[in-house]
């Protein structure tokens, strides 16, 4: 027990020293002894297990009593708080559905505690409620984000995303720290994260928080690699994109993203076999097992595009590591932690390991691990960062 305590403090020291150089640290280097306590709390949080739940329809937003981690993902928005022996998370579907305005419908929506707002003679139904409506109308929900960033295809995307976030967190008056996830710059497109980051920051500051951002790949490192001194590769494979970060003692050395993820698999498989992407998504989430031979043509196509996605990611990683001038001189082998919904099917780790053998990375990998709770890893990692920034 004593040994564990000592090693945690050692990690905390390294964390605070290295983190002061981190671009994520908006307050600059704070290495005074009194701050070690908050760093210790952050390290301890990264070692806690997650208790997660879906936002219930009609449920009020949480009133945070401490720092908050917020994962703003293409598919889900997840908020995390430090609560005793656990980290607790609540998730909301990042989706909406519009229906025409009528007084009668409004009454029914209110009575059923559906979350919505009114604009331009329409009701915007938010989150999990939107999914129920879309299923009833046998169509798809709409998304506020596309490939990890605010969608430029939806005029009301920003308003809807802000309303969705407000279903999870209530305004505060104490300048509470909130750390939200931000994708790395995509290597396969000219999209920039600056606009997205600024809009989210302004909105969260307007709710009374002190916002800071964390790269999504680094969030995986902060959540999963505390026993490795926060050194290794954190890879988050979500719906809209994959985020990759190589960190050394919690400092992001290289981070980037590719604009492909679970949605890419659903769309490519759908168009290959002539089925809607939503149907493919349901099959993928319900029964895909990548460790056995495909049973039909949908599974064959899912297998092909899973291999394709992993090979895209690993080729981009190889190219980044080989061309960077920032490569640290790491003389031991490092782990890879994989998070995000796309890593969930059985057999994914083995598929990834197979792909890894086909590339020639300039660093040695000790092992590949699936994160403890892949759908909540980013929010937990963001919380760890938020806790370390508390004054």
Ligand X SMILES: Nc1ncnc2c1ncn2[C@@H]1O[C@H](COP(=O)(O)OP(=O)(O)OP(=O)(O)O)[C@@H](O)[C@H]1O
> Which residues contribute to the site for ligand X (CB under 6 A)?
71, 73-76, 148, 236, 238-241, 261-263, 281, 284-285, 288, 340-342, 344-345, 375
Which of Mg ion, ligand X, none lies near 69, with the C-beta cut-off 5 to 8 A by kind? Answer: none
Which of ligand X, Mg ion, none lies near 270, with the C-beta cut-off 5 to 8 A by kind? Answer: none
- Report the distance separating Cα 271 and Cα 298, nearest Å: 11
**Strand pairing report for 251-258 and 242-248:** antiparallel
Give yes or no for residue 238 binding Mg ion (CB under 5 A).
yes
Tell the smallest beta-carbon distance from residue 356 to ligand X (Å).
20
- Tokens coding 333: 């082998």
Q: Is 299 helix (H, G, I), strand (E, B) or coil?
A: helix
Which of ligand X, Mg ion, none lies near 88, with the C-beta cut-off 5 to 8 A by kind? Answer: none
- Tokens coding 108: 């029914």
Interface stretch with Mg ion, choices 79-87, 123-131, 238-246, 293-301 (CB under 5 A): 238-246
Which of Mg ion, ligand X, none lies near 46, with the C-beta cut-off 5 to 8 A by kind? Answer: none
Looking at the chain, how many residues does it have?
391
Give yes or no for residue 73 binding Mg ion (CB under 5 A).
yes
DSSP letter at 343 equals G
DSSP letter at 386 equals H
Q: How deeply is 118 buried, as exposed, middle or buried, from its count of CB atoms within 10 A (0-12, 13-18, 19+)?
A: exposed
Tell the smallest beta-carbon distance from residue 277 to ligand X (Å).
10
Site for Mg ion in 358-387 (CB under 5 A): 378
Contact 33, 45 (CB under 8 A): no
Q: Residue 344 or residue 365: which is nearer to ligand X going by CB? A: 344
Nearest to 361 by CA among 317, 325, 326: 317
Nearest to 92 by CA among 67, 126, 119, 125: 126
Tell the smallest beta-carbon distance from residue 148 to ligand X (Å).
4
Q: Residue 223 or residue 250: which is nearer to Mg ion going by CB? A: 223
Q: Residue 43 or residue 258: which is nearer to ligand X going by CB? A: 258
Q: Residue 11 or residue 157: which is nearer to Mg ion going by CB? A: 157
| CA-CA-CA-CA torsion sign (66, 69, 72, 75) | negative
Q: Residue 231 or residue 342: which is nearer to ligand X going by CB? A: 342
Q: Which residues contact Mg ion (rule: CB under 5 A)?
A: 73, 238, 378
């Amino acid at each position: 027990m004593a040994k564990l305590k000592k090693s945690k403090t050692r990690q905390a020291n390294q964390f605070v020293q290295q983190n002061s150089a981190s671009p994520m640290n908006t307050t600059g280097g704070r290495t005074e002894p009194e701050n070690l306590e908050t760093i210790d709390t952050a390290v301890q949080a990264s070692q806690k297990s997650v208790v997660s739940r879906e936002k219930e329809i009609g449920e009020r937003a949480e009133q945070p009593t401490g720092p908050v981690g917020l994962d703003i993902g293409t598919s889900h928005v997840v908020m995390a708080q430090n609560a005793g022996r656990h980290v607790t998370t609540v998730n909301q579907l990042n989706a909406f559905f519009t229906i025409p305005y009528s007084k009668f419908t409004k009454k029914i929506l209110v009575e059923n505690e559906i979350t919505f707002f009114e604009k331009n003679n329409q009701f915007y139904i938010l989150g999990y409620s939107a999914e129920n409506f879309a299923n009833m109308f046998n169509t798809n929900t709409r998304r506020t984000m596309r490939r990890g960033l605010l969608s430029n295809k939806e005029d009301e995307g920003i308003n809807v995303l802000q309303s969705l976030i407000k279903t999870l967190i209530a305004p505060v008056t104490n300048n509470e720290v909130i750390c939200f996830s931000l994708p790395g710059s995509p290597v396969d497109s000219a999209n920039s994260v600056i606009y997205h980051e600024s809009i989210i920051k302004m909105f969260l500051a307007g709710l009374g928080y002190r916002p800071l951002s964390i790269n999504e790949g680094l969030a995986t490192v902060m959540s999963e690699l505390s026993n490795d001194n926060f050194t290794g590769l954190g890879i988050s494979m979500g719906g809209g994109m994959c985020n990759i970060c190589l960190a050394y003692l919690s400092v992001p050395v290289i981070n980037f993203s590719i604009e492909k993820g679970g949605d890419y698999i659903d769309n490519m498989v759908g168009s290959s076999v002539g089925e809607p992407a939503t149907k493919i998504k349901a099959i993928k989430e319900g029964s895909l097992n990548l460790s056995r031979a495909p049973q039909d043509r949908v599974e064959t196509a899912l297998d092909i595009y899973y291999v394709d996605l992993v090979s895209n990611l690993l080729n981009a990683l190889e190219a980044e590591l080989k061309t960077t001038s920032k490569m640290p001189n790491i003389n031991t082998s490092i782990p890879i932690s994989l998070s995000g919904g796309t890593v969930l099917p059985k057999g994914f780790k083995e598929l990834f390991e197979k792909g890894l053998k086909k590339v020639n990375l300039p660093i040695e990998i000790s092992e590949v691990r699936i994160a403890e709770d892949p759908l909540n890893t980013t929010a937990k990692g963001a919380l760890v960062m938020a806790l370390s920034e508390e004054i």
